[in-house]
């Protein structure tokens, strides 16, 4: 028997209990608020609102792909602007902000037993700078020439030249918005890391942290190390665009005109972008990994299988994710032997990732599985994540990537693995923690409807899409037209995919209705409706009050996974429950 669950001696408090800033007015309580829980809600509402814009854009994209040229608002320029904004918003402004700014802010202090983030004021600033970034992003829709249509990867030279829509203002605002986002994130990110390292309550050792905290913690470290690459790339490209420098611009003849650029390197931008861009995938994935681990454990009434392996797998994935970026550039013309290195490093990542999957399903083994709504979403995640993970083995293996890169196969792959899978976790997480946040349960029936349409619908969108990629249908095509190598039946498939996309999108209204309706009419939840062991469920008040813990900070005696412990009466032991027999 391993001793990870056993109570060790409780060390003295590392940090003294802090005196928090107490809001004195309505404005400091609900607007310029320093309480991480309020900041979390602010982050989440902003992220989800802008995410809805991205969802509507995806409809417009899909309508064009299914019925080319039918809708007059989707001109070629608009189409590329929609695709670009859809991708950028989903990845950065929705998922990154929601997982770290939303879930991170709400859960970290509660789960580690802190009263708040370590630097509440900076934490507040983080949100407002993020909001500013979103405002600048939205402004680009209204700027002359519209938002940039350079693709979310913003590759120069095209991104700042005439042939690309939004080259007037759109690209400038996009780069400024990214720079702001990174500044805002950095302020929040430092908080998350330092709070996990320094703000843990007595007895909360690192190896007793719930995996949710581990996931958000490692993702934040990744982000703190990866975003600077995007930051410098954005600044340099801004200079190229505005000041006429040539960081990324070689000698170019565009539309018969010799431009005043020369000597720069477009491939350098790709290296910088993907040095950020690949870890970004894991910035979105690691929090999802963590949350899913906890959902599966709680709702199977069983400890997460192989906790230590899960932690080390997270750390291994995080480290490895910095040496695989070249797999996005196999056909970019970078030195071809790099292919050997990046294919090897990429496929090695599959091992710790697979171990995580095994441990999730092994947690189910001999569990006591309650198919609650959060559990449904968690299990749905496993399906889409495994599906997207194995197509990653196609694209990571350099030679297989050659025919498939830049086709719809890639679009299907990344939506499965970093679009749908994390979104399912977001939903699972909301259904799971909503009772803590509001004191009321979300409606179960509506939740089930929401789950089935979203999960099956998303699978129907993306599973067949891989096959368009096998045929060779390229991505980022306004109109493919008649071509010899694509059978006419592919058009039918496109219509079916679009139908599924419209249905999935529309089904989200069920979720929003549920969230708002349950706020007033939902069943009262009590403090710990799922009978979960981790600390956030043990707060004296629900929703937790300012300072989270009332008079005294909790003391932690065990890991977060003491479910169905032999000999214990109930099937879970809260982390702050002292051992029945004093520790030897």
Partner 1 sequence: MAIAFALILVLVVVGSVLFHVLSPWWMTPIASNWSYIDGTITLTFWITGIGYIAIILFMAYCVFRFRHQEGRRAAYQPENTKLEWALGIGTTVAVLALLGPGLVVWYQYIEVPKEATEVEVVGQQWNWSFRLPGKNGLLGTSDPRYVSSDNPLGLNPNDPNGQDNVVIDGGELHLALGKPVKVLLRSIDVVHDFYVPEFRAKMDLMPGLVTYFWFTPTRTGTFEVLCAAFCGVGHDAMRGSVVVDNESDYQTWLRKQHTFAELSARAKKASLTR
H-state helical runs in 420-443: 421-438
- Cis check: omega of the bond before 543, within 30 degrees of 0: yes
Q: How near is the Cβ of 301 to partner 1 at its closest, in Å?
A: 5
> Smallest Cα–Cα separation from 154: which of 135, 143, 140?
140
Nearest-angstrom CA–CA distance, 537 and 534: 6
Does 100 sit near ligand HEM (CB under 6 A)? no
Q: Could you tell which of Cu ion, partner 1, ligand HEM, none binds residue 503, using a CB distance below 5 to 8 A set by kind?
A: none
Indicate which single residue of 230, 563, 575, 577 sits in contact with partner 1 (rule: CB under 8 A): 563
Given a contact cutoff of 8 angstroms between Cβ atoms, the answer to whether 507 and 454 are in contact is yes
Binding residues for ligand HEM, rule CB under 6 A, total 23
Nearest-angstrom CA–CA distance, 493 and 404: 19
Does 511 sit near ligand HEM (CB under 6 A)? no
Does 339 sit near partner 1 (CB under 8 A)? yes
Does 166 sit near ligand HEM (CB under 6 A)? no
Does 165 sit near ligand HEM (CB under 6 A)? no
Does 279 sit near ligand HEM (CB under 6 A)? no
Indicate which single residue of 5, 68, 151, 543 sits in contact with ligand HEM (rule: CB under 6 A): 151
> Smallest Cα–Cα separation from 111: which of 373, 310, 287, 285?
287
Q: How near is the Cβ of 85 to ligand HEM at its closest, in Å?
A: 9
Nearest-angstrom CA–CA distance, 265 and 248: 4
Window of 90-98, 226-234, 425-433, 462-470 that interacts with partner 1 by CB under 8 A: 462-470
Binding interface with Cu ion (CB under 5 A): 278
- Tell me, rounded to whole angstroms, the distance of Cα 491 from its chain centroid: 32
Residue with tokens 């998303």: 458
> Smallest Cα–Cα separation from 189: which of 131, 231, 136, 127?
127
Give the x-and-dash track for 352-371 against partner 1 (CB under 8 A).
--xx-xxx-xx-xxxxxxxx
Half-sphere exposure of 34 (CA within 13 A, CB side): 17
Given a contact cutoff of 8 angstroms between Cβ atoms, the answer to whether 553 and 201 are in contact is yes
Q: How near is the Cβ of 478 to ligand HEM at its closest, in Å?
A: 9
167-to-148, 259, 260, 334, 395 alpha-carbon distances in Å: 6, 15, 17, 27, 31
Residue with tokens 């370590």: 118
Angle at 263 between CA 262 and CA 268, to 5 degrees: 120
Q: Give the nearer residue to partner 1 in terms of CB position, either 45 or 361.
A: 361
3-state secondary structure of 572: strand
Q: Could you tell which of ligand HEM, partner 1, Cu ion, none binds residue 152, using a CB distance below 5 to 8 A set by kind?
A: ligand HEM
Residues 3-62 that bind partner 1 (CB under 8 A): 4-5
Given a contact cutoff of 8 angstroms between Cβ atoms, the answer to whether 223 and 282 are in contact is no
Residues 429-488 that bind ligand HEM (CB under 6 A): 461, 475-476
Q: Give the nearer residue to partner 1 in terms of CB position, either 96 or 405.
A: 405
- Tell me, rounded to whole angstroms, the distance of Cα 281 from its chain centroid: 8
Q: Could you tell which of Cu ion, partner 1, ligand HEM, none binds residue 278, using a CB distance below 5 to 8 A set by kind?
A: Cu ion
Does 463 sit near partner 1 (CB under 8 A)? yes
Does 87 sit near ligand HEM (CB under 6 A)? yes
203 torsion bin: left (phi>0), alpha (psi -120 to 50), beta (else): left
Q: Give the nearer residue to partner 1 in terms of CB position, either 183 or 449.
A: 449
Q: How near is the Cβ of 413 to ligand HEM at its closest, in Å?
A: 11
Binding residues for partner 1, rule CB under 8 A, total 114
Q: How near is the Cβ of 223 to ligand HEM at its closest, in Å?
A: 15
Other CB atoms within a 10 A radius of the CB of residue 131 amount to 16
Q: How near is the Cβ of 384 to ligand HEM at its closest, in Å?
A: 11
Q: Give the nearer residue to partner 1 in terms of CB position, either 142 or 365.
A: 365
43-to-40, 47, 152 alpha-carbon distances in Å: 5, 6, 22
Measured from each CB, the residue nearest to ligand HEM is 87
Give the x-and-dash track for 282-321 against partner 1 (CB under 8 A).
------------------xxxx-xxxxx------------
Q: Contact positions toward ligand HEM, by CB under 6 A?
A: 58, 61-62, 83-84, 86-87, 90-91, 95, 151-152, 411, 415, 418-419, 423, 461, 475-476, 501, 504-505
């Amino acid at each position: 028997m391993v001793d990870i669950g056993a109570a060790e001696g409780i060390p003295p408090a590392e940090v003294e209990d802090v005196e928090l800033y107490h809001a004195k007015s309505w404005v400091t309580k609900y607007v310029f608020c320093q309480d991480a829980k309020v900041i979390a809600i602010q982050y989440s509402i902003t992220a989800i609102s802008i995410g809805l814009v991205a969802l509507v854009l995806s409809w417009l994209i899909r309508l064009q792909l299914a019925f080319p040229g039918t809708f007059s608002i989707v001109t070629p320029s608009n189409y590329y602007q929609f695709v670009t904004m859809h991708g950028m918003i989903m990845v950065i402004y929705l998922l990154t902000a929601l997982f770290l700014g939303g879930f991170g802010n709400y859960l970290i202090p509660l789960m580690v037993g802190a009263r708040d983030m370590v630097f509440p004021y900076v934490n507040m600033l983080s949100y407002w700078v993020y909001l500013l970034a979103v405002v600048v992003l939205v402004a680009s829709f209204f700027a002359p020439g519209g938002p940039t249509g350079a693709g979310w990867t913003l590759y120069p030279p095209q991104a700042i030249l005439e042939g690309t829509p939004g080259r007037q203002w759109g690209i400038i605002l996009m780069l400024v918005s990214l720079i702001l986002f990174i500044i805002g994130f950095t302020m929040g990110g430092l908080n998350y890391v330092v709070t996990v390292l320094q703000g843990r309550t007595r007895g909360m050792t690192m190896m007793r942290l719930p995996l949710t905290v581990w996931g958000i913690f490692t993702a934040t470290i990744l982000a703190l190390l990866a975003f600077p690459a995007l930051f410098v790339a954005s600044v340099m490209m801004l200079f190229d665009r505005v000041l006429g420098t040539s960081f990324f611009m070689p000698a170019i003849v565009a539309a018969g005109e010799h431009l005043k650029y020369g000597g720069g390197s477009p491939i350098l931008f790709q290296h910088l972008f993907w040095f950020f861009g690949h870890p970004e995938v894991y910035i979105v994935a690691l929090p999802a990994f963590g949350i899913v681990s906890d959902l599966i454990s709680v709702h199977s009434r069983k400890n997460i299988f192989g906790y230590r392996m899960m932690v080390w797998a997270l750390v291994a994935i995080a480290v490895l994710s910095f040496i695989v970026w070249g797999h996005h550039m196999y056909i970019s013309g970078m030195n071809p032997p790099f292919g050997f290195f990046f294919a090897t490093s990429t496929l090695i990542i599959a091992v710790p990732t697979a171990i995580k999957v095994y441990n999730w399903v092994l947690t189910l083994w001999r569990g006591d599985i309650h198919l609650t709504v959060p559990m449904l979403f968690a299990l749905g995640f496993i399906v889409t994540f495994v599906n997207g993970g194995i197509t990653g083995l196609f694209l990571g293996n350099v030679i297989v990537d050659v025919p498939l890169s830049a086709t719809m196969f890639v679009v299907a792959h990344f939506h499965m693995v970093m679009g749908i899978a994390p979104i399912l976790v977001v939903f699972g997480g909301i259904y799971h923690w909503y009772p803590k946040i509001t004191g009321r349960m979300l409606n179960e029936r509506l939740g089930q409807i929401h789950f089935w349409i979203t999960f099956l619908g998303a699978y129907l969108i993306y599973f067949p899409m891989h096959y368009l990629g096998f045929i060779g249908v390229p991505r980022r095509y306004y109109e493919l037209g008649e071509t010899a190598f694509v059978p006419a039946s592919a058009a039918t498939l496109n219509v079916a995919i679009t139908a599924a996309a419209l249905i999935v999108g529309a089904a989200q209204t069920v979720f929003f209705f549920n969230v708002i309706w349950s706020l007033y009419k939902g069943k009262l939840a009590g403090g710990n409706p799922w009978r979960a062991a981790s600390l956030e469920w043990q707060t004296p008040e629900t929703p937790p009050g300012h300072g989270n813990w009332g008079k005294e900070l909790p003391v932690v005696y065990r890991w977060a996974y003491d479910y169905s412990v032999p000999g214990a009466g109930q099937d879970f032991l809260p982390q702050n429950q002292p051992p029945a027999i004093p520790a030897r």
